[in-house]
Amino acid sequence: MKNVWLRNLVALLAVALFGAVGPQTAAAQAKTIKLGCAISFTGAKSRSGKLYRDAYNMAVKQVNDDGGVKVGGEAYQLKIVYYDDKSNPGESSKLIEKLLAEDKVNFLLGPYSSGITIPDSLVARRYRVPMIEGGGASGKIFSHGNKYVFGTLPPAGQYFKSTLEMTQTLKPAPKTLALLYADDKFDVSVAEGTKKLAAGMGLKIVLFEKYAEHTSDFNSILTKIKAANAEMVLVAGHTEESLNFTQQAKELNVSPKLIGMTVGPSEADFRKSLGADANYIFGVASWSPQMNFPGFLLPDTQEFVKKFKAKFNYDPDYHNASAFANVAVFKDAIERAGSLDAAAVRNAIAKTDLKTIYGRVRFAKNGQMKGASVVLQIQGGEVYQVFPDGVRPPIYPFPAWKSRR
């Protein structure tokens, strides 16, 4: 951290002394393809933003080390131009305009979160430049006829599908469900989709409760869950909310038979923060490090997991893998298009059928990836894929808090 500080200070002095020196003086412009990305370095979403940047950078380095992107017999190096969107959608879309108008980037990589992806993708649409994003799954991104945005997360409405399917295999299968969700775009989509799926499976929804994004106190909701006596609780929210929910469930001694969450359990931070209290919680993800697919930039998923861990010193999760796949899709599509023309590349992206470390990437007509989520569970402090094709069987029911230790 210290040297970032120092570097900034030195840069400030340099600017003060020598006047405006452009930040990018490197000239070799002829043979680079610039990818533009406005993503959260600061603000509430900066933690997740980092997950994407790490993977983008790793993928770009891999492409360049392997000889770059080949277009018409010439090899191009990939380069990402980043800006900090300050976790602010208005700021973000402005920066996309800057990337396109001023930095003249060729294509766009997505930001993190559905709420920021929408305004960004509208700029892409205005300029008719394709954007591939791995950080926004809300159906609303793809519902407005925008032909220039492609997403590699499965549709939000389907997130809990695998979890619900799994519960049908459990004995005895839970019958009542409490569904909590944050009021942002992504989680509302998750909740509405899940509600339909649950009704189709004959589950009884005893509580369908929305809470405000960034809520820290779940005591009243937990009290309601206890009163409703729900066997299964599903939470569609963000990492901090998942953390709060879990600790407070313990504080108030609320132990349903199953707790499942969208965002949180797959992330290393979540497990580190909660320690043993994270055990037995179910998560969902479009990907898990226990999968093994043959890859495009790297031989297979396991190779990716190994390299990633060595490089960044944390376990990759689906955010990282999705971001890695975004760059892979660009390389593949640009090479198939055989040109840097935005329209040609867009059409090539739409026709993508690529085996990546993230799985097989194909896009539906609306631009969202075809795919499904898998169920994870934290067991003994590690994440295991438990359904479908689990490496371990799910542990059910959830051992009551009081009976632990």
Partner 1 sequence: MLLQILVNGLLKGGLYALMAIGMSLIWGVMDIINIAHGSFIMLGAFITYWLFTILGIDPFLSLLFSVTFLFLFGYAVQRYLINYVIRAGAFITLILAFGIEIFINNLALVSWTADVRKVKVSYGAANFAIGDLVTIPTVRLIAFGLVILISLIFFLILNRTNLGRSIRATSQDLDAARLMGVDVAGTYAITFGMGVGAAGAAGTLWSILFPISPMMGGALTLKSFVVVIIGGLGSMLGPILGGLALGIAEAFGSNWFGATYENLIGFTILVLVLIFRPKGILGGTS
Partner 2 sequence: MNKKTVWRIAGFAVLLPAALLFPLVGNNFIIRFGTDMLMFAIMASAWNIIGGYTGYASFGNVVFFGIGAYITAVVMEKAGLPFWAAYMAAGGGAALFAVLIGLPVLRLKGHYFAIATLGVAEAMKALVQNLKITEGNAGIYLPMLDMPIRTQYYFFFYIMLATLIVTLLATHFLLRSRLGYALIAIREDEDAAESIGINTTVAKTIAFALSGLFTGLAGSVHAYQQAFIKPDSVFTVHITVKMLVMAVFGGMGTLFGPLLGACSIEVISEFLSNYFLVAHTLFFGAIVILAIVFTPRGMIDLFSQRRLSIAYFLQNIREHRI
Distance of closest approach, residue 17 Cβ to partner 2, in angstroms? 13
102 binds partner 2 (CB under 8 A): yes
Question: Which member of 10, 11, 13, 400 binds partner 2 (CB under 8 A)?
Answer: 11
Distance of closest approach, residue 338 Cβ to partner 2, in angstroms? 26
Distance of closest approach, residue 51 Cβ to partner 1, in angstroms? 11
Question: Which member of 31, 144, 351, 392 binds partner 2 (CB under 8 A)?
Answer: 144
Distance of closest approach, residue 139 Cβ to partner 2, in angstroms? 11
366 binds partner 2 (CB under 8 A): no
Residue 343 contacts which entry, partner 2, partner 1, none (Cβ below 5-8 A, type-dependent): none
Supply angle C-alpha 284, 267, 303, rounded to 5.
90
341 binds partner 2 (CB under 8 A): no
User: Residue 288, class by beta-carbon neighbours within 10 Å (0-12 exposed, 13-18 middle, 19+ buried)?
Assistant: buried
Residue closer to partner 1 (CB basis): 224 or 307: 224
Contacts of 385 (CB under 8 A, 6+ apart): 288, 290, 291, 374, 375, 376, 391, 392
Question: Which member of 47, 61, 71, 122 binds partner 2 (CB under 8 A)?
Answer: 122
Closest by CA to 35, choosing from 360, 329, 344, is: 329
Question: Which member of 98, 147, 226, 360 binds partner 1 (CB under 8 A)?
Answer: 226
Question: Which member of 244, 302, 347, 379 binds partner 1 (CB under 8 A)?
Answer: 244
Q: If binding means CB under 8 A, how many residues of this protein chain bind partner 2? A: 39
Q: Which stretch binds partner 2 (CB under 8 A): 118-126, 169-177, 285-293, 312-320?
A: 118-126
Q: Which stretch binds partner 2 (CB under 8 A): 119-127, 161-169, 291-299, 358-366?
A: 119-127
219 binds partner 1 (CB under 8 A): yes
Closest by CA to 119, choosing from 84, 139, 82, 89, is: 89
Token output for 111: 């930001």
**Gap between the Cα atoms of 374 and 197, Å rounded:** 16
1 binds partner 1 (CB under 8 A): yes
The interface mask with partner 1, positions 7-46, x = CB under 8 A, is -----------------------------------xxx-x
The interface mask with partner 2, positions 41-80, x = CB under 8 A, is xx--------------------------------------
313 binds partner 1 (CB under 8 A): no
- In this structure, what are the phi and psi dihedrals at residue 17, rounded to the nearest 5 degrees? -80, -45
Question: Which member of 114, 117, 138, 239 binds partner 1 (CB under 8 A)?
Answer: 239
Measured over the CA atoms of residue 230, residue 232, residue 235 and residue 240, the dihedral's sign is positive
CB atoms within 10 A of CB 385: 20
122 binds partner 1 (CB under 8 A): no
Token output for 255: 């132990």
User: Residue 314, class by beta-carbon neighbours within 10 Å (0-12 exposed, 13-18 middle, 19+ buried)?
Assistant: middle
Closest by CA to 217, choosing from 249, 179, 262, is: 249
Put the strands of the sheet holding 258-261 in their side by side order: 204-211, 176-182, 232-236, 258-261, 282-285, 374-379, 382-387
210 binds partner 1 (CB under 8 A): yes
101 binds partner 1 (CB under 8 A): no
57 binds partner 1 (CB under 8 A): no
Question: Which member of 66, 74, 102, 217 binds partner 1 (CB under 8 A)?
Answer: 217
Contact criterion met (CB below 8 Å) for 397 and 279: no
Binding positions for partner 2, rule: CB under 8 A: 4-5, 8, 11-12, 15, 23, 41-42, 82-84, 86, 88-90, 93-94, 97-98, 100-102, 115, 118-119, 122, 125-127, 138, 140, 144, 183-185, 188, 212-213
